[in-house]
Structure 1
Amino acid sequence: MNSRIRFRSFLIILILFAISFFYHLPFYVSQPGIAKELEPIIHVEGGNDAKGALMLTTVRMGKANIYSYLLAKWSEYQKIYPEHMIKEDDETEEEYSVRQLQMMEGSKDAAIINAYKAAGKKIKVSYDGVYVVNVLEGMPAEEKLMPGDRISKIDGIKFTSSKQFIEYISRKQEGTTVSITFTRGDTNMTERVMLKPLKGTDKVGIGITLVDDLKITTEPRVTIDTDQIGGPSAGLMFSLEIYNQLTKDDITKGYKIAGTGTINENGEVGPIGGIEQKIIAADKSGADIFLAPNENGAKDSNYRAAVKTAKNIGSDMKVIPVDSFKEALDFLQTLKPR
């Protein structure tokens, strides 16, 4: 009898443990990821090799269960984020993943543009429309569009930038119906959508967040294989790796150089999340230098947080503040070869 009671008690405890393990809280937990060398995943035809390495850095981000939440509470370098800080209002997991991957694509495009222009190489950029990365609940696009759809025309009109696209829509009146031409997978589709006011603004819209769909032609050709890595934070390091393969002088000078930061088509470097975890990842990889967004010297900048973390963990890495692709290049060109 006692053995039966013990077995049932054990079984109940096991079931409760399994339920608590798979029950997700409305939080995300981030922790140090990896520092990954870029030369194996970026290939410029006829590109030059480096003696050192340029590396992107990542964080591991996942939904919190009871155990990961408690562990993060007691860990100095794991962070807990409320769900609304990670995902947009009413955004599904699928939409979040699509948004991250599309931001990565935008990051690649900006990196290629900056690197080729700086290296004086041939590049042609054309605008092919916009990608839908999120559809807002209760807005006209909800029943018509999906994350990943590529919109090519509005009312039969092609645009040369997403700015023109947004301006065209915003000039119209509430209740106006527009025709949206888009591609879903391999299928071309057209839907009619009535415009509604956008929450918190005095403008109307269809209720999507978007990124540009750019077609970039380069000489020599470049390919970037990021698999399922998402987000825009590797933009700066992509730019530097592409530039290094395009030019004869090796900007690594034999050093292992990690870093992070978004980049736009003008070469401006922007802040990212998880800088502390990325410093730890870079230090574990043996990086000599870490390039961190300076945010124009802001007191709470990524750079200042990176310096503090490097000091706290006793790292020998040299942390360098950068506000632009040019600043990063200028610094690397001052390094003495190893």
Structure 2
Amino acid sequence: MPRRTATMLASTLMLIALLCAGVFIPVPYSEMSPGPTVNTLGDHDGEPVLQISGRKTYPTTGHLNMTTVRVTSADYKMNLVEAVYGWLAHDNKVVPHDTLYPDGKTEEQSTQENAEEFSQSQESAKVAALKELKIPVKSGVIVSTVVKGTPSEGKLHAGDVVKAVDGTAVKEPSDVAELVTKHKPGEDVVFTIVPAKEQAAAEKEKRTATKTEDITITTAPSDDSGEKRAIVGISAGTDHTFPFTIDIKLADVGGPSAGLMFALGLYDKLTPGDLTGGTFVAGTGTIDDNGKVGPIGGIEMKTVGARGKGAQYFLTPADNCPAAAKDTPKGLTLVKVGTMDDALGALKDIRAGDTADLPKCTTKG
């Protein structure tokens, strides 16, 4: 066999071997890509995303789209060829597996966590929108979770409203831990609660729950190294009672990043006129009860997905601006927002066509 032919054959076989190795060698990476984008002012799967009853609503036009990111599952084994392709692809992003699933988190655990964050983001969006409209919202401290095998198991339940601890009124979730840790492990602490069933019945009947119970719990020592704190084995959260019914219908979505767009959509439906002036606006960002907008993950994927659907403006959390501005899709204007008020001000300028002075994202912020 001629030397040249032998060399070509050996090179070909080597290339085939490398490709085979690349296909079968797993690498510790995951992939992110643009996910669906949904207009919070419109319908999804045949029903309105935002449903309001018991309060007058107004027609809306344009788009206020929330955006999402697709990620590979926790148990997906990416190979070397896929990783290289993902690094080269413009619309995808390859990241270390632990970035998406830290501490060996399973798919089920991640899904549950995302569902809880999504539910909380909806509640905060409702509160932020109604506060912006000066509509009163009643809030209370509740038992969010009860840890199995702790002193509270069987005595307190998720959804119980915590009115007081040792006779001291509770106003914030942090008050609960502060009052419990005044005790030493082994001492009794008294919770004054409205049972979850009583609270649910009162809300259904549109009355104030008045039935309370005193529950005595013997504290246990914490697992901390060093000095042990007194614990009862619960986490406390905030529950809101709204003056009318607000439902957010959007399945198969998780995480907290749609909060801003839900809040803006609700504000738009509850006020005359429309926020966008018919313009296609998309965006992202967490939101708290006071309307503060927080950063999210996967910003580059979300801007690509939004522009692909036709968005002209993208409301971007201030902390995400540097990353988003590094590779802005052509034709998309990134608008920097830090609060719901910022977003409403930007939308006012957009619908008026006065966009020259919009607070735009730059690579520096």
Q: Say whether the fold is shared (TM-score over 0.5).
A: yes
Q: Is contact 1:255-1:288 (8 Å) kept?
A: yes
Q: Return the offset for 1:166.
A: 2.5
Q: Return the offset for 1:125.
A: 2.2
Mean Cα deviation higher: 317-326 or 101-110: 101-110
CA distance in 2, matches of 1:107, 1:201: 36
Q: Alignment partner of 1:330: what SS? A: helix
Mean Cα deviation higher: 148-157 or 65-74: 148-157
Q: Return the offset for 1:26.
A: 5.5
- The equivalent position to 2:180 in structure 1, one of 148, 169, 173, is 169
Mean Cα deviation higher: 93-102 or 154-163: 154-163
What is the root-mean-square deviation in Å for CA atoms of aligned residues? 4.0
Partner of 2:68: 58
CA distance in 2, matches of 1:143, 1:24: 44
CA distance in 1, matches of 2:352, 2:336: 21
Q: Is contact 2:101-2:110 (8 Å) kept?
A: yes
Q: Is contact 2:30-2:95 (8 Å) kept?
A: yes
CA distance in 1, matches of 2:305, 2:225: 39
1:150-190, Cα deviation, whole Å (9 max, x unpaired) = 56559898844311122233334356677999979x9xx99
Structure 1 residues 176 and 93 mapped into 2: Cα distance closer, same or farther (>3 Å)? farther
Q: Is contact 1:178-1:195 (8 Å) kept?
A: no
Q: Is contact 2:141-2:173 (8 Å) kept?
A: no
Structure 1 residues 317 and 76 mapped into 2: Cα distance closer, same or farther (>3 Å)? closer
CA distance in 1, matches of 2:237, 2:350: 36
Bigger Rg over Cα: 2
CA distance in 2, matches of 1:75, 1:165: 49
Q: Return the offset for 1:224.
A: 0.8
Structure 1 residues 155 and 329 mapped into 2: Cα distance closer, same or farther (>3 Å)? closer
Mean Cα deviation higher: 263-272 or 101-110: 101-110
In structure 2, what residue type is equivalent to 1:164? D
Q: Return the offset for 1:286.
A: 0.3
**How many residues were matched structurally?**
298
Structure 1 residues 228 and 151 mapped into 2: Cα distance closer, same or farther (>3 Å)? farther
Partner of 1:306: 324
Map 1:65-80; keep pairs closer than 5 Å: 65-67=77-79, 69-80=83-94
Point out where structure 2 has 5 or more consecutive residues left out of the alignment: 1-19, 44-48, 201-214, 354-365
Query: TM-score scaled to structure 2, two decimals?
Result: 0.68
Partner of 2:311: 287
CA distance in 2, matches of 1:72, 1:172: 54
In structure 1, what residue type is equivalent to 2:129? A
Structure 1 residues 178 and 115 mapped into 2: Cα distance closer, same or farther (>3 Å)? same
CA distance in 2, matches of 1:24, 1:178: 52
User: Percent identity over the alignment?
Assistant: 27
Q: Alignment partner of 1:309: what SS? A: coil
Q: Is contact 1:197-1:204 (8 Å) kept?
A: no
Structure 1 residues 265 and 200 mapped into 2: Cα distance closer, same or farther (>3 Å)? farther
CA distance in 1, matches of 2:69, 2:277: 27
CA distance in 2, matches of 1:65, 1:107: 31
Q: Is contact 1:289-1:318 (8 Å) kept?
A: yes
CA distance in 2, matches of 1:42, 1:308: 33
1:28-62, Cα deviation, whole Å (9 max, x unpaired) = 43211121111220123342222211000000123
Structure 1 residues 308 and 88 mapped into 2: Cα distance closer, same or farther (>3 Å)? closer
Q: Is contact 1:49-1:245 (8 Å) kept?
A: yes
In structure 1, what residue type is equivalent to 2:92? Q
Q: Is contact 2:59-2:273 (8 Å) kept?
A: no
Q: Is contact 2:140-2:161 (8 Å) kept?
A: no
- The equivalent position to 1:332 in structure 2, one of 337, 347, 362, is 347
**Is residue 245 of structure 1 aligned with residue 269 of structure 2?**
yes
Q: Is contact 1:44-1:223 (8 Å) kept?
A: yes
Structure 1 residues 305 and 241 mapped into 2: Cα distance closer, same or farther (>3 Å)? same
Map 1:192-231; keep pairs closer than 5 Å: 194-198=220-224, 205=231, 212-219=237-244, 221-231=245-255
Map 1:130-145; keep pairs closer than 5 Å: 130-132=143-145
Point out where structure 1 has 5 or more consecutive residues left out of the alignment: 1-16, 296-301
Q: Alignment partner of 2:307: what SS? A: helix
Q: Return the offset for 1:318.
A: 1.1
Q: Return the offset for 1:100.
A: 1.5
Partner of 2:286: 262
Query: TM-score scaled to structure 1, two decimals?
Result: 0.73
